[in-house]
Amino acid sequence: QGNITTGSGGLVYLIGPAVTNGGIITSPQGEVILAAGNSVELVNPATPSLRVLITAPDNQAVNLGSIVADAGRVGIHAGLVRQGGTIRANTVVRGENGEILLKATKDVELTAGSVTTASGPTAGKVTIEAESGTAKVSGRIEANAEAPGASGGTIRISAQKDITVDAQAVITVNGSSGGQVAIQSVAGTTLVAGRVEAR
């Protein structure tokens, strides 16, 4: 519920059977990982390769605060993932694209008012995965490019079961040319009531 701050390129790992961030984590060009599991294997700290063994479906990782890793990487791994705050992996310098991964073995929820963004002069990538459950998006997800000639980024939302994009949700991958948005349910229904832009 306080502040965790690193210098450029730093690493912040919050790991436990349950993880909640209610404060502000800042690691420019770094990597921020919230991992809720009974076993966590760090494959290589220099990459977002992280293996989390979830042995109970109620292992939960929650972000209610702010995670800022401009031009860096943010990963949240758990049985249940809830993003109710701000996750920002925006870029300041062209080409230094940020990445955000929200990966649940069961369900993922991005609540109303939440902001998940990997925008900047050039755009990054946002991936949301619910391996065996559902995905619900009620907040804002952005991967926009602002530099002339730059393409919008990539946003991928996948779930084994139902995917719901509520009416208040906004998903954008705008740029000089539009990026890519993929919303795919393997065995459930996909309901999109919100706004999706790839301008």
Look up residue 164 and give its two tokens: 């719901």
Residue 53 — pLDDT band, cuts 50, 70, 90?
Answer: low
Query: What is the pLDDT at residue 93?
Result: 80
Question: What is residue 166's three-state secondary structure?
Answer: coil
Q: In sequence order, which residues have a C-beta less than 8 Å from that of residue 47 and are 6 or more positions away?
A: none
pLDDT for 55 beyond 70: no
Query: What is the pLDDT at residue 94?
Result: 81
pLDDT tens column, 99-155: 999 999 999 999 999 999 999 999 999 999 999 999 999 999 999 999 999 999 999
Per-residue exposure over 98-107, b if at least 16 CB sit within 10 Å of its own CB, e if not:
bbbbbbbbbb
pLDDT for 65 beyond 80: yes
Per-residue exposure over 28-61, b if at least 16 CB sit within 10 Å of its own CB, e if not:
bbbbbbbbbbeebeeeeeeebebebebeeeebbb
With a pLDDT cut of 70, the percent of the chain lying above it is 91
- Average pLDDT on 23-34 reads 95
Query: What is the pLDDT at residue 50?
Result: 63
3-state helix, strand and coil shares in percent for the chain, rounded to the nearest 5: 0, 55, 45
Residue 187 — pLDDT band, cuts 50, 70, 90?
Answer: very high
C-beta of residue 184 within 8 angstroms of C-beta of residue 158: yes
Distances (CA, A) of 178 to 70, 107, 139, 148, 166: 22, 29, 20, 12, 22
Q: How many degrees, rounded to 5, is the angle at CA 184 between CA 164 and CA 119?
A: 80
Euclidean distance between the first and the last CA atom of the chain, given in angstroms as a whole number: 38
pLDDT for 44 beyond 90: no
Lowest mean pLDDT among 19-33, 39-53, 138-152: 39-53
**Please, how many CA atoms are within 13 Å of residue 104, restricted to the half-sphere of its CB?**
29
Residue 74 — pLDDT band, cuts 50, 70, 90?
Answer: very high
Residue appearing with tokens 């706004």: 195
What are the two backbone dihedrals, phi and then psi, of residue 160, each rounded to the nearest 5 degrees? -70, -40
